[in-house]
Amino acid sequence: MDQNSELFDLIILGAGPAGLSAGIYASRGKLKTLVLNEGAIGGQVTLTNEIANYPGVEITKGYSLVNIMKRQAKSFGCKIKSNIKVTGLELEGATKTIRVNGSDLYRAKSVILSPGGKPRMLNIPGENEYKGGGVSYCATCDGDFFTGKHVIVVGGGNSALEEAVTLTKFASKVTIVHQFDHFQAFKHAIEEINRNEKIEVILESELREITGEDNVRSVKLEHLPSGNISTIDVDGVFIFVGYIPNTELFKNIIDINKYGEMIVTPDMETNINGVFAAGDSIQKRYRQVTTAVADGTIAALAASEYIRNSS
């Protein structure tokens, strides 16, 4: 059958932990399932150097966990297409249509949206200019480029603190800069940085500018209570100040809150019948691999019930 006329039971947009979990449950439940992914399989979790709190799995790399999920989904018959570009959506009605790469059409009875997110930028002078030249959003990807050097980590959540510890494996010194007078991370993450002799902490401060020549050489730092500006010599800046949901494609289609997160019911259904959403792009408080997996599981089960009741 020509792919332009092929009808799937379920199409999943996004192949992070949420999308892959949905693919596992749906395909094992005998739904004809297709996962479409715009980038590399796995999403943000592939950038995580170490996962130690995934139940039933000993310490592992993010990409290793994702590869297992991918193999599981495929073993149950789930089709996965990556490195594509979604160029059109028609989600109303009994049959949903997704246009890919401008010409290919895929149709389904139900859709799960799990596009994940991307790192939030500081939007300060020098940030764009020195991307790839000392400014990074991934310690796992770029840490070894800073062996024996001084780097700054911006942020105060779990990701920032965990990545700071990862960077101490390479850098001679890691300075954490956070805008508040306390961290928002879990207690164990805070305790870990406090024990690490390579880590220095600067609170109540924000980066105002990143400067250099061919690469980053220094940053300008404002101490918020006093307004004093200081310059610190550094070789790299790692930014972990949250994420932006990849929901631009769904604006004016799916109900989205002021933070760009899709609004869903407890069954992960959006405002459109038969269209569900899961993972880091939905409105929720906690964002972990385990919560993404749970979202994908619920969305797949709810989509299965929707398809069954619509037949």
Would you list the domain boundaries of the chain?
3-118+243-310, 121-239
Annotated catalytic residue 78: no
- pLDDT for the residue 148: 97
Annotated catalytic residue 141: yes
C-alpha R_g of the chain = 21
- Give pLDDT tens digits for 72-104: 999 999 999 999 999 999 999 999 999 998 888
> Would the pLDDT of 6 be above 60?
yes
Angle at 17 between CA 27 and CA 293, to 5 degrees: 80
- pLDDT for the residue 5: 61
- pLDDT for the residue 2: 43
Let me know: does 14 contact 80? Beta carbons within 8 Å: no
Fold of 121-239: FAD/NAD(P)-binding domain (3.50.50)
- pLDDT for the residue 1: 37
Instruction: Find the helix packing angle between 62-75 and 17-28, rounded to 10°.
Output: 20
Half-sphere exposure of 89 (CA within 13 A, CB side): 22
- Give pLDDT tens digits for 240-296: 998 899 999 999 999 999 999 999 999 999 999 999 999 999 999 888 899 999 999
Annotated catalytic residue 138: yes
Of 2, 9, 104, 138, which one is the catalytic site residue?
138
- Give pLDDT tens digits for 156-174: 999 899 999 999 999 999 9
- pLDDT for the residue 201: 98
Average pLDDT over residues 57-81: 94
Say if 3-118+243-310 and 121-239 have the same CATH topology.
yes
CATH 3.50.50.60 for domain 3-118+243-310: yes
Measured CA to CA, the distance from residue 8 to residue 10 in angstroms comes to 5
CA dihedral 6, 9, 15, 19 (to 10 degrees): 170
Of 9, 142, 280, 295, which one is the catalytic site residue?
142
Measured CA to CA, the distance from residue 307 to residue 58 in angstroms comes to 36
